[in-house]
Amino acid sequence: MKSSGIVLLTLGAITIGGIASAASTYDSSFLKGAKSTPTPKASAAATATKSKGTVAQKRKLKTQEDPLASKEEKAETVASLAKSIKSYTTLIASFPPGPQRNQLILYRASSSIRWVRKRLLQGKGLVIDAVGKSFLDSAVRDIKYVLGSKGLSRELETKATNILSVAYFYMDRMDLARPLFLKLLAQNPKSDSAGWMAMAIADDHFESGRYAEALQYYIRFEGIMVKEAAEFAKYRQAWCLVNMNRIGEAEKVFSDLIRSGSRSGVVIDCMRDLAFLLVHGTDLERPLGVARSLFQNPADELQFLGYLRSGVESQNQPVAHRRVVNRMLELENDNAKKIESLIADLRANQKKVASKYHHQAFVVVRNALKQAGIGPGDRAFENLSATLEGEIQNLMRVYIECFADRVKSPEFNDRKTTAKPLVEQFEFFNEYFPESQARPQAVRVWLDLCMETRDWVCADRVVTIILDDSKQLLVHRDAAQLARIMLNEELLKVTPEAKPELTPRYMEALRAATLNKKISGWGRIAKRYAELLLKTKNFGDAMPMLQEIYLREKSPASFYALQLGRLQSGAPDLVLKEPIDPAIEKKEPGLKEIRREASLSIAIKAKEKNDLPAYKAAIGQFLALQPSREKAVIARADYFRYLSETGHVAEVAAELRVMNSAELNIKEFAVFAPLAWTWNMQNGNYHEAERLLLTRGEQVLNSDELFRLALTRAAQGKPLSPKFLALLKREHCEYLMGIYVLLQPHFVLELLHTGKQRFVRGLLPDSSAKNFVALAVRIAGDRSVSTADLEKITGVSYAVSPFEKGLGKFADTPDPSVKSKRFAEDVAFLAIKTRKLREQFQSQFSGKPYKVQSRMIAHAIKIESRMAALILMSPLPKGLSAADLAAYNAAINEAAQEFAMQAAEFEQIQSALEATAAELKAKEAARFTPAVAYAKWPWPDKFEDPAVPALKVAVEKKRFVEAMILLDLNKPEDEEDYYWIRAGILIQAAHSDALLVYVRDELEQKKQMDIVDEWRDLAGL
């Protein structure tokens, strides 16, 4: 095999030549492959199978069943029979012609045939030697003599005919034996030898192609044959049907024989022949279905599938072959046998050109071997290796031919695509067949392929295999060493971060070259060696080498390499200590970038040591070197992040304070704006906090940013318009309302007034708005809000209820005159209206404000009492007797009683309502706790937290909205501290007794009873 050439690697004046001078031809002749078995054509296979069993059956007929021997004679031997023949010959000579002599002659003829049979039993075939033929000829002469005798009895004639037919059968003269068999069968179709003779006749018809006649004999005499002969007759029936093109019937006969469960060779032949028929059918799915339905025992099905697989392979049907193999894999438990099936599938998929399916079949075999843990050295692999090696060589050969462009494959358009599966094949061959004679040449072609396709990882693996082998592959060692130098050179070009395991030998070769200082191109080699040393972080060897190169060359490039080495070796201070030479830096612009990187390196170290001054100085030096905008942003953002993480928020705020709007809008800096905003709020720098929020304009702020803006403006005491509040999220708006409702309740009432509430009502549900109004009214005091305004704000009628409006119409109705003739009718009419008003009262009274309920109950009492009085004023009818008068007065009193009693009930409700109101008023008065002066309130330490100095200032200057916002922005971790400060702020801000009551209610609700008790003590309660 010719060697391949590899692209030259030039280092200065040194040239590392190719592995060989001539380009590789990728010769595949060293791969012998498996010996291919010619695939028989369908007709030839059919012919061979049709005649299968004929020789074996003849042997059975001639050896297993002796129609001439009695039970005693079956125990005879060849020697005893020869002795008997001599005895009969002697006796015959002493008898004259006649029946006795004829009987002795027949005995001798029969013994001669039995002698031939015994000889056949001792042999393996049907060949009768010359001695046997002479015995048969002698028997025929004896029988013909007897048949030619005069006065021969019918019994003796039949016996002689029988013996003669057997003699002809053993002489393979069926033309002479057939008529005699037919004659004997006609005489006694159920005799002991009838089945034997019928089988011989049927076989003769079959051999002569008379399949219909043979089928009749097989079927007719099957029942009188011995079991084994009957099975064979059944088997031959099937092949008669096959040759008569009655395939379906033949398949059924084969199937019935298989189901019989017999373990004879005929059943095995049936399995094989049924598989043959199914394989030659048109339905590729049917054979597997037949196998599933025919066999219950997996072992039997596997045997049958083996025949199917062989047939499908011979028919070159790889798809069907894969289906059969897959079914075999489902049934088979032996891993080795599974792999045998897969190897067969690999063989079935082989092509004369490179095929993806062929390679996929190989991958399946490879994976199966690995999964089963079968490999070189295992006994199971020894049984597979010969076949498998041949198939793998066949596979590699067609792929090599395709890769070399000697054979075109429609499945592969370029060499690189062909190379990938071929590399997998080489790897497998090298691993599983390390002792193969083809291995050295295969590994060499593998190396050539990897180098040509520039697959450097692959090439390095092959080189390692060669260099680690000191026996078979020693011949390729020099080529491997040269290839390693080249492939590492190429690999490092495309992957600067080359893995350390790919470079040690290459670096050793370069190191040896650098030892010779006089070698031409030493600088180039030394630079490459130093570069690799830096990449492998071997700075101890790299830096002296770079220093030596610089001292010898004094060039800008060598100075750049030295500075880069210092940077990479972790000595950035040495980089910055070197004086700047503008002439050198003009030729090597990258030197400035190295200085920048050195500054960043020092900054990182300072950051790790938590040395803020050094970190700040290094970042300043880096920025002074004019880095790109992107790097400058990254560096400053990292510095800000360090400041924020280490608690130097004031420095972050100071840095952002000097930035313009454009800089603040850079996303890397914008992330720190919320932190700086919080710090500015805590320190009362509200103007700067608002500036940080408005760098992009108010209209582009998100909901959280709008909330922060609202807090900033509220802390400054700036009014918040309804339109602005409507932009906030509901929870943000409710938070602000919660502060204003306590500290500026009139602002809440004004905001929610009808003229402005359209801005807020869309944000706050009616229930929430009403709650705020109710609390605002409570805090501000009822007198501060007019009844009309309350109705507009809350939507609740404080002045006139629907019940009271009905009273107006009722009041317009004049009392009936006692003198009126229609007095009774008028009173009845008023009673009906009174009852209707009573119903309205009962349905409308609940849920009304106390003032409205008080008015409603007073009116209800008045109209009920009035109605009772009118009834009692009814005039007496004239002409009544004393008894009638008494009855009339009783009726009048009973009618008035309804309204009087209802008036009394309303009076009880009125009393209860007034008592409840008085009780609530008393309770609220009892809950009132006077305010405590600022100086006396026990403010917790958190109130003077240095992180939030603006909180105390805001309280002292009575800017309570600002104070509440600052408290919530910096809520103490201790909940009690929080409520101490909150309660103190609200007490100092108390503008009404109702607010003080609210503060106490809130503290009790939050279970801060210690604060309540302390407050009461301070207030002197």
Specify the pTM.
0.44
* Domain match, 807 and 790 both: no
Q: Which residue has the higher pLDDT, 804 or 466?
A: 466
Residue 862 domain-assigned (yes or no): yes
The whole-number pLDDT of residue 821 equals 67
The whole-number pLDDT of residue 28 equals 76
**pLDDT band at residue 49 using 50, 70 and 90 as cut-offs:** very low
The number of distinct structural domains making up the chain is 4
The rounded distance, in Å, linking the Cα atoms of 408 and 954 is 90
Give residue-wise pLDDT tens across range 186-215.
777 666 677 778 788 888 888 888 888 888
b (16+ CB within 10 A) / e for 367-396: ebbeebebeeeeebbeebbeebbbbbbbbb
The whole-number pLDDT of residue 299 equals 83
DSSP 32: -
Cβ-based neighbour number of residue 407 at 10 Å: 15
The rounded distance, in Å, linking the Cα atoms of 164 and 172 is 12
The rounded distance, in Å, linking the Cα atoms of 291 and 275 is 9
The rounded distance, in Å, linking the Cα atoms of 355 and 398 is 9
- For residue 815, pLDDT over 60 is answered with yes
Please give the structure tokens belonging to residue 638: 């990292």
Give the amino acid at 126.
Answer: L
The rounded distance, in Å, linking the Cα atoms of 759 and 831 is 50
Give residue-wise pLDDT tens across range 136-183.
888 889 888 888 888 788 888 888 888 888 888 888 788 887 887 778
At residue 14, what are phi and psi to the nearest 5 degrees? -90, 130
* Domain match, 790 and 806 both: no
Name the 3-class secondary structure at 9: strand
Name the 3-class secondary structure at 591: helix
* Domain match, 921 and 950 both: no
Mutual angle of helices 673-682 and 686-693, in 10-degree steps: 160
Q: Which residue has the higher pLDDT, 225 or 521?
A: 225
Q: Which domain holds residue 126?
A: 76-192
Residue 816 domain-assigned (yes or no): yes
Residue 111 domain-assigned (yes or no): yes
* Domain match, 916 and 947 both: no
Residue 610 domain-assigned (yes or no): no
* Domain match, 787 and 813 both: no
The closest alpha carbon to 111, from 130, 125, 129, 92, belongs to: 92
Give the CATH number, domain containing residue 164: 1.25.40
Query: Dihedral of the CA atoms 594, 595, 596, 597 (nearest 10)?
Result: 50
- For residue 837, pLDDT over 50 is answered with yes
* Domain match, 841 and 923 both: yes
Residue 728 domain-assigned (yes or no): yes
Q: Which residue has the higher pLDDT, 596 or 63?
A: 596
* Domain match, 143 and 171 both: yes
The whole-number pLDDT of residue 819 equals 63
* Domain match, 809 and 908 both: yes
Interacting residues of 452 by C-beta distance below 8 A, sequence separation 6+: 4, 24, 415
**pLDDT band at residue 713 using 50, 70 and 90 as cut-offs:** very high
- For residue 799, pLDDT over 90 is answered with no
The rounded distance, in Å, linking the Cα atoms of 750 and 485 is 88
Residue 167 domain-assigned (yes or no): yes
At residue 16, what are phi and psi to the nearest 5 degrees? -95, 110
Give residue-wise pLDDT tens across range 210-260.
888 888 888 887 777 777 777 788 888 889 988 988 988 888 888 888 888
Residue 822 domain-assigned (yes or no): yes
At residue 9, what are phi and psi to the nearest 5 degrees? -110, 115
* Domain match, 890 and 948 both: no
* Domain match, 742 and 857 both: no
The whole-number pLDDT of residue 627 equals 84
DSSP 672: T
Q: What is the mean pLDDT of residues 275-304?
A: 81
b (16+ CB within 10 A) / e for 804-827: bebbeebeeeeebeeeeeebeebb
Give residue-wise pLDDT tens across range 943-965.
998 888 999 999 999 999 999 99
Q: Which of the listed residues 170, 192, 214 is the one where a domain comes to its end?
A: 192
The rounded distance, in Å, linking the Cα atoms of 463 and 457 is 10
* Domain match, 750 and 842 both: no
Q: What is the largest CA-CA distance in the chain?
A: 184
**pLDDT band at residue 816 using 50, 70 and 90 as cut-offs:** low
**pLDDT band at residue 8 using 50, 70 and 90 as cut-offs:** very low
Q: Which of the listed residues 192, 210, 227 is the one where a domain comes to its end?
A: 192
Q: Which of the listed residues 139, 157, 192 is the one where a domain comes to its end?
A: 192
Residue 857 domain-assigned (yes or no): yes
String of DSSP letters for 871-934: HHTPPPPTT--HHHHHHHHHHHHHHHHHHHHHHHHHHHHHHHHHHHHHHHHHHHHHH------T
The closest alpha carbon to 214, from 187, 226, 232, belongs to: 232
* Domain match, 916 and 862 both: yes
448 torsion bin: left (phi>0), alpha (psi -120 to 50), beta (else): alpha
